[in-house]
Amino acid sequence: MNSARDLILDDPGWLIAVKGLLVFVFCVLCTLMAIWFERRIVARMQLRLGPNRVGKFGLLQSLADGVKLALKEDLIPAAADKLVFIIAPIISATTCFMAFAVIPMSGPVKMFGQETAFQLTDIPVGVLYILSVASVGVYGIVLAGWSSGSTYPLLGGLRSSAQVISYEIAMGLSLVAVFLYAGSMSTIDIVDAQDQFWYAIVLFPSFIIYAISMVGETNRAPFDLAEAEGELVGGFHTEYSSLKFALFFLAEYVNIVGVSALATTLFLGGYHAPPGLGFTESWLGGWFTFIWFFIKVVLFFFVFVWLRGTLPRLRYDQFMQFGWKVLIPANVAWIMVVAVLRYFTLNGASRTSILIFGGAILVIFLMGSSLYERSKAKKGEVTASAVDAPAPYPVPELPMKISTFTVPRAERERE
Amino acid sequence: MNLASIVNNQTQTPEAVLFFILAPVMVLSALGMLVVKKAVHSALLLAVVMIGLAIFYIANEAPFLGIVQIVVYTGAVMMLFLFILMLVGVDSSDSLEETIKGQRISAVLGSVGVGFLLISLLSRAELGRAYAGLELVNGEGNVQAIAKTLFTRYVWAFEVISALLITAALGAMVLAHRERLLPRKSQRELAAERVRQSAIPVAGLPGPGTYALHNAVDIPALLPDGSPADSSVSKTIAARGELANPNTFRMNEKNEAGEE
């Protein structure tokens, strides 16, 4: 039944090696282009032009920057723990690539005369594997912060690891609904299960929570508290320079592409064409599916850039509260609803009874939320009156009268 | 059937290669974990052992167990350890002095004894029945098989353990909990308080020469009532006695008034 999986499992050794290389090259090229794309888009949003000097449209800007970065002096602080200081960026940069091993990037295609699919391997716990790799990747950040031997990196490392761990929970929970519907944790099965409806529509709340937590997971604006310039200089990589810094940079962008690719796989139907465009999937000998996959990833990346260009950074406690007190409970409630619905569907309940159940849940949810809003509004009144009317700021009196007329308060309010 | 003979019969070449590369790494890191001085290095080496173990699980066709090993132990438990250790600081290392007399010798003797006991027991261990084989157990998929065993046969044990864990987490929260006597101040209230109470003006100190006719560094700013603001000039300049008299730079009417 599953032709793509059989094709992958039949790959000869040399093809696996070639695919591994291709995935690596894809990630690195994506990073180079992503940096350029981000700078150009953010520039547009701020009414600037962005890099446009090196190469056509400035396309080679990040390559030039990379060369410059590599030629800079590589400093290791005297207070640093030297070995860990060197290992940390290596951990970061290697783990981020590993997640791509299980991402299906195309349907069945011909590659060097072999029938296969552009996916390195398929394991029955593919999505969990990505989560586990991400959790090892956190070590890179934590160790970088600790081994630098100075305060700001340590705080940045602590912050970012706390952040990544908290948002990984929300992320993992939002995947549960997908597993329930697809009946599998393998990425190929999940993509195949979406041939009718994308899970972004069927499991909309999960999709939204995943989209939020993936921004938190990758330490990106507006959740980039780990590198808050105003508070922590550069965060965990303050002490890093030259190639080691470049590795962190690379890891950040590969991670963004990685979570975007995972979102594409889990919620946007992976390499499949959007509904109604299914005939395009056989174009270019099946390679057109890769183009669909790539377009979806770029869309996600564009949202990342859009967020960065639009939103101010959150305060740390607000951010953590949002993760633990909003995202996770909402997710758990949603999973219970999904599980019950799924149980009924699998046991052959009629469509009407499922619709009635779903409607009842919706009504309860709306009632609960409106009650909550009301109680909050009442509380708000109380606190507003308590803090009301702060005393005027202590401004020294002016030697001469500047304004000769004062509008009575009552009149001003009437206007 | 003896465990050793099972291992000998069934190990294939790729698995043997994996074993002979990974096993020394794991043993060395486990030993290193005991020997190194810094606690963070110990934690890292332990993480290496855990990841190695996970790779062995995966190689033995237990992918779910292997991945969960990494997510739970390496990703969560070890990370929390590391968290605490990091706060201790980069230069701290454990003191190697014995606090209890004869502790080291008794520890070595005890652990060697336990080790011998374990080895002798394990080498003579028998399953007591023919093993089912991976093909049968993993027939409908590794994840499905584990889920079925966990939620049918061992569901009671599973629920009891989860209750225990939740109790532990709640206990920790109760122990660390502190009743608030006063409501926590919001950011807005704190800001208003800072403005009202602070000795330093919110907008910062006035620059030298503000409102005066000259803005050189040695000329104090004039307050709105015309008196010099001492805080606007660097203390060093004041100590050197190079402070200019602000009265000479006052506005004309005031100047004239001063001369009269």
Q: Which residues of A touch B253 (CB under 8 A)?
A: none
Contact residues, chain A, for B82 at CB < 8 Å: 139, 142, 146
Q: What does the alpha-carbon distance between residue B218 and residue B238 come to, in Å, rounded to a whole number?
A: 8
Residue B112 is predicted with a pLDDT of 95
Which member of A132, A145, A390 has the closest CB to residue B75? Answer: A132
Inter-chain residue contact B195 with A393, CB threshold 8 Å? yes
> Cβ separation of B86 and A136 shorter than 8 Å?
no
A86/B contact by beta carbon, under 8 A: no
- Burial letters for A19-36: b for 16+ Cβ neighbours within 10 Å, e otherwise? beeebeebbeebbbbbbb
d(CA A74, CA B110): 48
| A1, A132, A402: best to mutate for the B interface, most B CBs within 10 A | A132
Residue A299 is predicted with a pLDDT of 92
Measure in Å the smallest separation between the Cα of B114 and chain A Cα atoms: 32
CB A288 within 8 A of CB A282: yes
Task: Tell me how far CA of residue A174 lies from CA of A167, A196, B133, in angstroms.
Answer: 11, 21, 35
Q: Do the Cβ atoms of A135 and B79 come within 8 Å?
A: yes
pLDDT tens, position by position, B144-182 = 888 888 889 999 999 999 999 999 999 998 998 888 888
Q: What is the mean pLDDT of residues A265-285?
A: 81
Within 8 A of B195 by CB-CB distance, chain A residues are 393-394
CB-CB neighbors (< 8 A) of A146 in chain B: 40, 82, 86, 90
Residue A401 has a pLDDT of 52
- Quote ipTM for the complex: 0.76
pLDDT in tens, chain B (260 residues): 444 445 555 667 788 888 899 999 999 999 998 888 888 888 889 999 999 999 998 888 888 889 988 988 888 888 888 877 777 655 555 666 767 788 888 999 999 999 999 999 988 887 777 777 777 777 777 888 888 888 899 999 999 999 999 999 999 989 988 888 888 888 888 888 877 776 666 667 777 777 777 778 888 887 777 777 777 888 888 888 777 776 666 655 544 444 43
With CB atoms and an 8 Å threshold, state whether A131 touches B71: yes
Whether A387 has its CB under 8 Å from any CB of chain B: the answer is yes
Nearest to A143 by CA among B219, B205, B251, B90: B90
Residues A20 and A30 sit within 8 Å (Cβ to Cβ):
no
B67 touches chain A (CB under 8 A): yes
Set of chain B residues whose Cβ sits within 8 Å of the Cβ of A390: 192, 196
- DSSP assignment letter at A117: E
Of A81, A136, A396, the CB nearest to B223: A396
Torsions phi, psi for A51 (to 5 deg): -65, 125
Stretch (H or E) spanning B88 = helix B78-88
pLDDT in tens, A122-143: 888 889 999 899 888 888 888 8
List the single residue in B71, B192, B195 with the smallest CB-CB distance to A128: B71
Residue B187 forms contact with A (CB below 8 Å): yes
Query: What predicted TM-score, i.e. pTM, was given to this entire model?
Result: 0.76
Does B189 contact A387 at a Cβ distance shorter than 8 Å?
yes
